[in-house]
Amino acid sequence: MLVMLFIWRWTQNQLGIEKPKEPKDEDDNKDEEEENKLDKEAENIPVLTIIYRVVSFCKFQWKWYILEIALFHIATGVRCVQPHYNAKLLSIFSNKEAILNFIATLTNHEAIFIYTIIVSIILYIVGIVLSGMESGISSYSSEIFKNRLRSHLFTSVLKQEIAFFDKHKTGDLISRVNWEVNSIRRATQVNKIFDEIVPLIYSLIFMSTISWRLTLANFVAMPFIAFCCELYNKKRQKFFWKTYRSSAKAMNVIEESISGIRTVKSFGCEEIECKRYHKHLLESSKLNKEKSIAYIIFRWVNDICDNLNYIFIVAYAIYLVMYGKILPEQLVEFWLYETSISRYLYNINYTLQTIQDGIMSARKVFSIIDREPKKIKSGTLKKPIDGKITFKDVCFTYPSRPNEKCLENLNFECQPGETIAFVGPSGVGKTTIIQLLKRFYDPDSGVVLVDDVPIDEYDSRFLHNSIALVAQEPILFDASINYNIKYGCDDWVTDKDVEEAAKQANIHDFILTTETGYNTLCGERGVALSGGQKQRIAIARALIRKPEILILDEATSALDAATEKDIQDTLHKISQNISVIIIAHRLSTVQRADTIFVLSDKKIVQAGSHKKLMQEVDGIYYNLVNKQILHEKEDTDEENYDENNNKND
Ligand SMILES: Nc1ncnc2c1ncn2[C@@H]1O[C@H](COP(=O)(O)OP(=O)(O)OP(=O)(O)O)[C@@H](O)[C@H]1O
C-alpha cells in the first residue's frame, strides 16, 4: 500500500499534476508581464483537460495507433518469453558436470536442444521485425499528429485580433509552433512508456513465480528513489519556464535581425545583434548547466540507490540458494529478468519526464489554439456597399498603450463616390482611423458605419473585400508578381484582370521588361523590387478587387512626381464610382480630394476642399502647404545653385 502511494505520488508529480510555478525573473519588464499573461492562464488549465485535448488530436489517426499497439504487444510478449528459453539453454551449460552429462546423452536431448535454439532464434527475429515496424509506425503517426497540431496552431494564431500581435513577439509564436509542438509530439509517443511498463509487469510476474521474496526485494529502495525523483522533477519544472523564455528571446533576435538585415547592415550592427543573440544563448547555456548539474546529482543518487538495492538482492539471493529456498537454475532465470528491471524503471522515469514536458508545452500550445480572438464579432451582412463612411464620436486607445488616448470624439462623413483625405503631423492618428475602418481594432466608444450600418454587422471577409487598403509599408510575399496581385482573390480573377490592374497601377510596362514577366519573383517581403515598384504592385493588388472603398495610406510616397501623377490620373478616373481615402504627407497628393480633414491633437480641427482651406490663412493646412512650398523652393534653389556652380567650374 505504501509503495502504491509512493508510485501514485511520483506519477502525479511526473505528469505535472502539481502545477509548475513559473519563477519570477527580476529583469522582466512590463511588456513581458503582459505577454506572459497568456502563459499564466495556460498554467491554470487542468492537466486532465490538457490530456483530453491532446488525445482528441490523436484520435483521427486511430488506425495507426491500434496497429502500433497490436504490434507492440506481440513484440513485447515475444521479448518477455525470450529469457525463459535463454535460461533453458543456460541451465544445460550451467556447470561442467551438466555439460558432460548433456554430451553423454546428446542423442536423448538433441530434439529438445534444437527445438530450444530454433524457438530462441525465431523469437529474436519476430521480436526485431515487430519492434522495428512498431517504432516506424509510431514515428509516422506522431509526425501526422505534429503537422496537424502545427496547422491548427498556425490557423489559431492567424485568427487572433491585431492587438494580440502587438503584445506577442514573433519569436515566442514561432517557438510555440516549432519547439513546443515537437515536445508534445514526443510526449504522444506515450506507448514508449508501455514499452517499459508492460515488460516490467511481465517480468515481475515471471520473477514472482520463481521467487516472490526476491521479487519483493526489488522494492526496498523504491520510496527513497521516488523521493529523489520528486525533488529532481520540481527542479526541472522550474528550469522549463526559464529555458523557454530565453529560447523565445533568442528566436526573436534571429527573426528581427534577419527580417531587418538591411537596417542591421546599414548601421553596421551585425556584431551588436550577434552579441544580443549570444547573450540569450549564454542565459540558456547557464540554465542548461544548472539543469545538467541537477541531473548529474540525480543520476548519482539514483545509481547509488540502485546498486545498493542490487547488492542487497544478490546477498539475499545467495542466502535463499544456500538454504535451498530456490534452485541455482531458477536463480539464473530470475537474474536474466532482474537485469532488465532497473533499465525498465530508468526508462519509465525518462518517458514520464518527456510526458511532463509535453504537458507543459501543450499548455502553451492549447492556450493559443483555444483562445477566442477578442472583440472580433463578425456579422453576417453581405449587402452590396455604396461606399458611405461615417465615424460618430469615435474614441480609441491602443490596447498595448492603455493610458494614452489616440483619438477623441472623432466625427466625419464620406459620401459614396467622394474622395477624402487626412493630413496632419506625424503620429496624430491618421493610420489609426484606417485601422478602425478595416476593423483591425474596435473603438472604445462611438461607432464606425458603412452605408449607415455599423461595420461589425458586416461579414468580416466581405467587408475586407469591399474595402481595399494600400498600406504605408506594403508587404509582398515571396512569390511571383502575378500571385501578389491576385493575392486573396485568385479564385475569381483572371490573368487579364491582373494585367488590367497592373496597367492602372502603372507597373505593367516594368513587368514586361523583366525576363519572366508576371512570373518574376518578388523576393521575401518584396526585397527584389524597388520601393516604388512594390507600391505600384500593392496598388494593383487593391484595384484588382474592384473595391467600393479604396484606402491609400502614403501609397505613392516612394514614387517620382511623374509616375505619381499618372497613377493619380488613373485613380481620379476610378474614384468617380468609388469612395477613396487618401493619407499623404505630400500635400500635392491630396489637393484633388473633395474634402480634406486636418488632424491635430487627436481630433479633426479643419475640414474642407483645398481651395476652402487655403482661404483660412490662420489654419494649420495653410501653414502646412506654405511650409511645404517653401521647402520645395529651397530644394529647387539649391539644385539650381549646384547646377550653375558646376557649369562655371
Ligand atoms: N500598434 C500600436 N500600439 C500602440 N500604439 C500605437 C500603435 N500604432 C500606432 N500607435 C501610436 O498611435 C499614435 C497614432 O499613430 P498613427 O500611426 O495613426 O499616426 P499617423 O498619423 O498615421 O502617423 P504617420 O503620419 O507618421 O504615419 C502614435 O502615437 C503611435 O505611436
Q: Give the integer Cα–Cα distance in Å for 416 and 577.
A: 8
Q: Residue 188 C-alpha to ligand 1 middle, in angstroms?
A: 45
Adjacent-strand bridge partners of 450 = 389, 453
Q: Give the integer Cα–Cα distance in Å for 558 and 564.
A: 9
Q: What confidence category does residue 4 fall into, taking pLDDT thresholds of 50, 70 and 90?
A: very low
Contact 76, 202 (CB under 8 A): yes
Give pLDDT, residue 15. Answer: 45
Mutate-to-test residue for ligand 1 from 160, 394, 398, 581, highest number of ligand atoms within 8 A of CB: 398
Q: Give the integer Cα–Cα distance in Å for 199 and 84.
A: 13
**Ligand 1, atom 2: closest residue by C-alpha:** 398
600 lines ligand 1 (CB under 6 A): no
Q: Give the integer Cα–Cα distance in Å for 497 and 506.
A: 14
Please identify, by atom number, the ligand 1 atom nearest to the C-alpha of residue 166: 1
Q: What confidence category does residue 393 fall into, taking pLDDT thresholds of 50, 70 and 90?
A: very high
436 lines ligand 1 (CB under 6 A): no
Q: Residue 199 C-alpha to ligand 1 middle, in angstroms?
A: 64
Give Cα 270 to chain centroid, integer Å.
26
Candidate from 103-112, 360-369, 479-488, 607-616 with smallest mean pLDDT: 103-112
Nearest alpha carbon to residue 558 among 527, 536, 582, 531: 531
Q: Give the integer Cα–Cα distance in Å for 363 and 345.
A: 27
Contact 373, 160 (CB under 8 A): yes
Q: What is the mean pLDDT of residues 132-149?
A: 81
**Ligand 1, atom 7: closest residue by C-alpha:** 398
In terms of Cβ atoms closer than 10 Å to its own Cβ (0-12, 13-18, 19+), residue 383 is exposed
Examine the pLDDT at 449 and tell me if it is beyond 90: yes
406 lines ligand 1 (CB under 6 A): yes
Supply 62's cell numbers.
Answer: 486511430
Average pLDDT score, the chain: 79
Q: What confidence category does residue 483 fall into, taking pLDDT thresholds of 50, 70 and 90?
A: very high
Please identify, by atom number, the ligand 1 atom nearest to the C-alpha of residue 424: 21
Q: Residue 433 C-alpha to ligand 1 middle, in angstroms?
A: 10
Q: Residue 436 C-alpha to ligand 1 middle, in angstroms?
A: 12
398 lines ligand 1 (CB under 6 A): yes
Give pLDDT, residue 28. Answer: 44
Looking only at the bridges linking them, the beta strands covering 389-397 and 445-450 are antiparallel
Q: What confidence category does residue 42 fall into, taking pLDDT thresholds of 50, 70 and 90?
A: low
Contact 638, 628 (CB under 8 A): no
Examine the pLDDT at 386 and tell me if it is beyond 80: yes
Give pLDDT, residue 485. Answer: 92
Give pLDDT, residue 107. Answer: 59
Half-sphere exposure of 339 (CA within 13 A, CB side): 6
Candidate from 90-104, 217-231, 516-530, 535-549 with smallest mean pLDDT: 90-104
Which residues fall within 8 angstroms of residue 193, CB to CB, at 6 or more apart? 348, 351, 352, 355
Which residues fall within 8 angstroms of residue 349, CB to CB, at 6 or more apart? 14, 229
Model confidence over 260-289: pLDDT tens digits?
787 788 778 888 889 888 888 888 888 888
Give pLDDT, residue 361. Answer: 83
Q: Give the integer Cα–Cα distance in Å for 365 and 234.
A: 22
Supply 256's cell numbers.
Answer: 528581427
In this predicted model, which residue has the larger pLDDT, 601 or 222? 601
Q: Residue 427 C-alpha to ligand 1 middle, in angstroms?
A: 5
Q: Residue 157 C-alpha to ligand 1 middle, in angstroms?
A: 23
Q: Residue 441 C-alpha to ligand 1 middle, in angstroms?
A: 13
432 lines ligand 1 (CB under 6 A): yes
Instruction: Using a pLDDT cut of 70, give the percent of the chain over it.
Output: 84
31 lines ligand 1 (CB under 6 A): no
Examine the pLDDT at 34 and tell me if it is beyond 70: no
402 lines ligand 1 (CB under 6 A): no
Q: Residue 428 C-alpha to ligand 1 middle, in angstroms?
A: 7
Adjacent-strand bridge partners of 453 = 450
473 lines ligand 1 (CB under 6 A): no
Model confidence over 293-331: pLDDT tens digits?
888 888 788 778 877 887 888 888 888 888 888 888 778
**Ligand 1, atom 5: closest residue by C-alpha:** 398
Examine the pLDDT at 561 and tell me if it is beyond 80: no
Which residues fall within 8 angstroms of residue 383, CB to CB, at 6 or more apart? 451
- In degrees rounded to 5, what are phi and psi of residue 424? 150, 170
Mutate-to-test residue for ligand 1 from 162, 426, 428, 597, highest number of ligand atoms within 8 A of CB: 428
Examine the pLDDT at 583 and tell me if it is beyond 60: yes
Q: What confidence category does residue 162 fall into, taking pLDDT thresholds of 50, 70 and 90?
A: confident
What is the DSSP code string of 180-243?
IHHHHHHHH-THHHHHHHHHHHHHHHHHHHH-HHHHHHTTTTHHHHHHHHHHHHHHHHHHHHHH
Q: What confidence category does residue 400 fall into, taking pLDDT thresholds of 50, 70 and 90?
A: confident
Q: Residue 59 C-alpha to ligand 1 middle, in angstroms?
A: 46
Give pLDDT, residue 549. Answer: 92
Q: Give the integer Cα–Cα distance in Å for 625 and 613.
A: 10
In this predicted model, which residue has the larger pLDDT, 519 or 30? 519
Model confidence over 43-56: pLDDT tens digits?
677 777 877 878 77
Q: What confidence category does residue 499 fall into, taking pLDDT thresholds of 50, 70 and 90?
A: very high
Q: Residue 277 C-alpha to ligand 1 middle, in angstroms?
A: 29
Q: What is the mean pLDDT of residues 157-166?
A: 82
Examine the pLDDT at 96 and tell me if it is beyond 70: no
Please identify, by atom number, the ligand 1 atom nearest to the C-alpha of residue 599: 21
435 lines ligand 1 (CB under 6 A): no
In terms of Cβ atoms closer than 10 Å to its own Cβ (0-12, 13-18, 19+), residue 200 is buried
**Ligand 1, atom 14: closest residue by C-alpha:** 429
Give pLDDT, residue 401. Answer: 85
Examine the pLDDT at 506 and tell me if it is beyond 90: no
**Ligand 1, atom 23: closest residue by C-alpha:** 427
Examine the pLDDT at 390 and tell me if it is beyond 90: yes
Please identify, by atom number, the ligand 1 atom nearest to the C-alpha of residue 428: 21
In terms of Cβ atoms closer than 10 Å to its own Cβ (0-12, 13-18, 19+), residue 271 is exposed
181 lines ligand 1 (CB under 6 A): no
Q: Cell numbers 540554465 label which residue?
A: 287
Give pLDDT, residue 110. Answer: 66
**Residue 269: how many CB atoms within 10 A of its CB?**
15
Model confidence over 190-233: pLDDT tens digits?
666 777 787 788 888 888 888 888 888 877 777 887 788 778 87
Give pLDDT, residue 643. Answer: 60
In this predicted model, which residue has the larger pLDDT, 91 or 239? 239
Adjacent-strand bridge partners of 397 = 405
Residues in the chain, how many? 649
Give pLDDT, residue 640. Answer: 58
426 lines ligand 1 (CB under 6 A): yes
Give pLDDT, residue 20. Answer: 40
Supply 393's cell numbers.
Answer: 464620436
Candidate from 32-46, 383-397, 406-420, 618-632 with smallest mean pLDDT: 32-46
Examine the pLDDT at 415 and tell me if it is beyond 80: yes
Q: What confidence category does residue 437 fall into, taking pLDDT thresholds of 50, 70 and 90?
A: very high
Q: What is the mean pLDDT of residues 343-351?
A: 79
Give pLDDT, residue 98. Answer: 66
User: What are the CA-CA distances from residue 424 to residues 395, 396, 553, 602 (Å)?
Assistant: 18, 18, 13, 10
164 lines ligand 1 (CB under 6 A): no
Q: Give the integer Cα–Cα distance in Å for 541 and 422.
A: 22
